[in-house]
Every structure is written in C-alpha cells, then in structure tokens.
Amino acid sequence: MTYSKAKNKLGKQTLAFSNRPLIASGGAIVGVKEGQGPLGSWFDMVLKEDTFGEKTWEKSESKMLKEAVQMAMARGGKEPKDIEAILTGDLLNQLMSSAFMARDMQIPFIGLYGACSTMAESLLMGSVLIDGGYCNHIVAGASSHYCTAERQFRMPLEHGNQRPPSAQWTATAAGAILLAAGKQDILEERPLVIDGSSSAPSTEKRVCVTHGTLGKIIDTGLKDSNQMGAAMAPAFVDTVLNHLEDTGRQLADYDLILSGDLGYVGKQIAVDLLADAGIPMKDLLNIYDDCGVMIYEKEQDTHSGGSGCGCSASVFTGYVYKQMKKGQLKRVLLISTGALLSTISPGQGESIPGIAHAVCVETC
C-alpha cells in the first residue's frame, strides 16, 4: 500500500478516511412491488400505493425522499437545524425530486447526479466533508420511481409496450443515511414509530465509512437503453480492480462486495469480466451480490432485476447496514453503478457511458 502525494489518497483513485465518518442512522422507503420482494420486511416503510397520496409521480418520489431524510434525522436524534448539508440525487431532469425535497427542508443542499451510482457518490462526498472536518452532520441519499423514470427515459407508461428480457425495473425506493463525525459525536440510533409500531434500535455495532474509490467513465459503445446492466458492468469491474490495487486488499478481506443495479444480465457479465482479469470465480461468487438481483423475486416479472438510484440506496440502508449493526457483516464494499445517458443522447446516436463509485463500510 503506497500513498500518493495527496495525504489521504491511496493509489490513483481511492480516498482513505482517517477520521472514519460514522453512519449514525438511516431510513429506507420502498413501493408496493419492492415491499413484496425478498427484502420487504427489512425496509422501514412500504407504501400502500405508489402515488403516496400525491397527484403526480414526481411529487410522490420527492415525498419519499423527504420522508427517508426525515427518518434518518429522527433516528439519529437530530433536527433540520443540526444538519449542515444534504447530498442527494435522483434520475429526473434538474434533480427534480431532490431539489423540491430540499426546498422544503431549508438545509444547505448539494445536488448530485451519477445516475444509479448516486447513493455511493453521495456517501463518498459526504464522507469527504465529514472526514475533512468541514461538517459534523450530513445526510446522504438517493431516490427513484418506476413511473417517473420510465416515462422520462423510455416511453409513456400508457403505451404498455412490451419490455425485452434484458430490461430492468426501476425501483420505487428512497434511502437516506445520517453521517456524523464519529470522534466528536457518537450517536445511538433511536427507535422510530411508523404506523403505530416502534422499530427497536440496534446498537450492537457502530458502522463507519473508511474508504471511497472514485470511478472513471467506461464506455464500450453499447447503445441499447434496455441493456443497462451490460452498459454498466465494465465500469463496476474497473472500480473493483482499481480499489483492490489502490488498497492492496484481496477479495477475502471483504464479507460482501455489492454492485448497485447490474441485474441478472449485468451481474453475470461482471463475473465473467472479473474472471478474465484473474479474479477467481469461486472466490467472487462467495461474496459478490447485486442490489438489483436482491430486491425482487424472479417471480415478480422484473425481467433482469432492479435498477434506479433508489435500488442500492434502499438495499444498503434497509438491509446491508442493519446486517452490519447486528454483526453479521463486518466489511462491505458498496459499488453503486450508473448509466449516464440523457433523455436526448440516444436520439443523437450516442452510446451509454457507465460509471461506478465505491465506498468501503466497516464496523468500528
């Protein structure tokens, strides 16, 4: 392991957080379909209907993100006045869900766009602000909604067009994490009452962010918007390999390596590419999974699995983080993956660039 000239940098792309920002609390909200999946019982709130009582899908998504942010703050015993910045993003033009959520919160706001890589991006950048001593409390999060994303990027829902087997289902979900300066302000997560029931706090283990690996854009020239997993898989592989090289670690150093939303197709491509790069497949299969595969049952007819900013945001916050607090997982590498197409770039003949950012999260 060798440091570059930058004091807190490992190798070419990895940041080392010496002050280990604490994940103090979190909140995960999902839609009806996601609540019916294998992780349904782990999410903090499952909507009874995906409109969430709003007149438009966009308002529904923004409300979900706001609720997740408020949930994370309440569980950490913090009020809006205690939060120095909110870092969130979504898939909509001008970060519509995040911007209107932040308008109501009246907290300093940094909008982030990394497509479906946004959750890892927000955790990484939030950790930089905490580790550098610039802030003590930050909320990082992301959201997506099936109905908002589909009509923006592909086709109006009313058309009812048939989806190919390689297509993924944009998760209706939001996740938010409260990051705190661990050395100065160790928090105990408080129980939160939802629909009359209290979620008991778990303080067995504290969880910190220790490293972040900045991803590069990898573009293989793929142009089919129904092949998102294939477009993002090479970026995921590049980030994995660079993270391991920068830190001098091996697969065996992690309990779980988690990609954001490659789905079944992209996950298999990633496994094959890593095997070609010399990563033993038998070792990889023991610790590697994908949020887009985990969030739905195959019988739910999502084709290649889940996608969207809210996919990795909700799976990490609702399931993985809680497993770490229980001591079931000690070191996790979350690598959220994003396809950086726009609403107009496919019509101009552009390919789909992929990006993947990583955060290493450990019990501390």
Render pLDDT for 58-69 as a digit per residue (tens, 0 to 9).
999 999 999 999
Kind of pairing, strands 354-363 and 207-213? Answer: antiparallel
* C-alpha count within 13 angstroms, C-beta hemisphere, residue 172: 29
- How many Cβ atoms sit within 10 Å of the Cβ of residue 206? 19
pLDDT at residue 194, rounded to an integer: 45
Closest CA relative to residue 286, chosen from 274, 298, 302, 304: 274
**Is the dihedral angle over the CA atoms 119, 125, 129, 130 positive or is it negative?**
positive
Phi/psi of residue 234, nearest 5 degrees:
-60, -35
Name the residue type at position 242.
N
Q: What fold does the segment set 209-363 form as a domain?
A: Peroxisomal Thiolase; Chain A, domain 1 (3.40.47)
CA distances from 134 to 23, 88, 321 (A): 17, 18, 25
Six-digit token string for 325: 């607090």
Q: Residue 234: which residues within 8 A CB-CB, separation 6 or more?
A: 218, 220, 273, 354
Distance CA 48, CA 219 (A): 39
- Ordered DSSP codes for 231-277: HHHHHHHHHHHHHHHHHT--GGG-SEEEESS-HHHHHHHHHHHHHHT
This prediction's pTM: 0.92
Written as tens digits, the pLDDT of the chain (364 aa) is 554 467 899 999 999 999 999 999 999 999 999 999 999 999 999 999 999 999 998 999 999 999 999 999 999 999 999 999 999 999 999 999 999 999 988 999 999 999 999 999 999 999 999 999 999 999 999 999 988 877 776 566 655 566 655 676 789 999 999 999 975 454 456 555 444 444 555 457 999 999 999 999 999 999 988 888 999 999 999 999 999 999 999 999 999 999 999 999 999 999 999 999 998 877 888 899 999 999 999 888 887 788 899 999 999 999 999 999 999 999 999 999 999 988 889 889 999 999 999 999 999 8
pLDDT for 150 equals 74
Q: Give bridge partners of residue 87 from the DSSP assignment.
A: 110, 140
Within this chain, domains 17-199 and 209-363 share the same CATH topology: yes
Structure tokens at 191: 């129980």
Domain layout of the chain by residue ranges: 17-199, 209-363
Per-residue pLDDT tens digits for 246-296: 999 999 999 999 999 999 999 999 999 999 999 887 788 889 999 999 999
User: Can you give the pLDDT at residue 153?
Assistant: 65
3-state secondary structure at position 73: helix
Opening angle at CA 186, ends 182 and 190, nearest 5: 135
* 17-199 fold: Peroxisomal Thiolase; Chain A, domain 1 (3.40.47)
Q: In this structure, which amino acid lies at residue 341? A: L
Closest CA to 24 of 348, 325, 337: 325
